[in-house]
Amino acid sequence: MSIYVLSIAFSIMFLVIIFELVRRQRLKEQYSLLWILFGVLLLVVSINVRFLERVAEWLDVKYAPALLFLFGLLFCFAFILHLTIVVSKLTSQVLRLTQELAIMKGKRTDGEGERA
């Protein structure tokens, strides 16, 4: 079994798993789009062997299937960067909400103290 057949099988299984996770609502649609894009890209590159070999020749890579792993690694880096941006944004929102909640609790406590 060649690496290309294995890569095609992996891509198809990967896409099926992503669609199943979305269907079961275990993965949000906004994140699934990147994973689906990656799966389709990997499938297209795996099926089009000549394109992969031309790119490998252009980049002076001796073993063309190694580019599949390079594409996967680059995608992982891009996706980790995207998730880091999302986490940073959520951290800021949690901090702001916590501060607003503390202010609201402080006002409620001050208001109760005046009534007594």
Q: Whole-angstrom distance between the N-terminal and C-terminal Cα of the chain? A: 81
DSSP 64: T
> Residue 64 corresponds to which tokens in the numbers above?
């063309």
Block mean pLDDT (10 aa), the chain, length 116: 85 95 90 88 87 92 87 88 93 97 89 58
pLDDT of residue 2: 82
pLDDT of residue 104: 93
> Residue 61 corresponds to which tokens in the numbers above?
């890579």
Rounded Cα–Cα distance for residues 46 and 17 (Å):
18
pLDDT of residue 113: 55
Q: Which residue shows structure tokens 């001796």?
A: 62
SS3 74: helix
pLDDT of residue 90: 96
pLDDT of residue 115: 54
Contacts (Cβ under 8 Å, ≥6 apart) of 7? 42, 46, 65, 68
> Residue 10 corresponds to which tokens in the numbers above?
């992996």
What's the pTM value of the predicted model, to 2 decimals?
Answer: 0.66
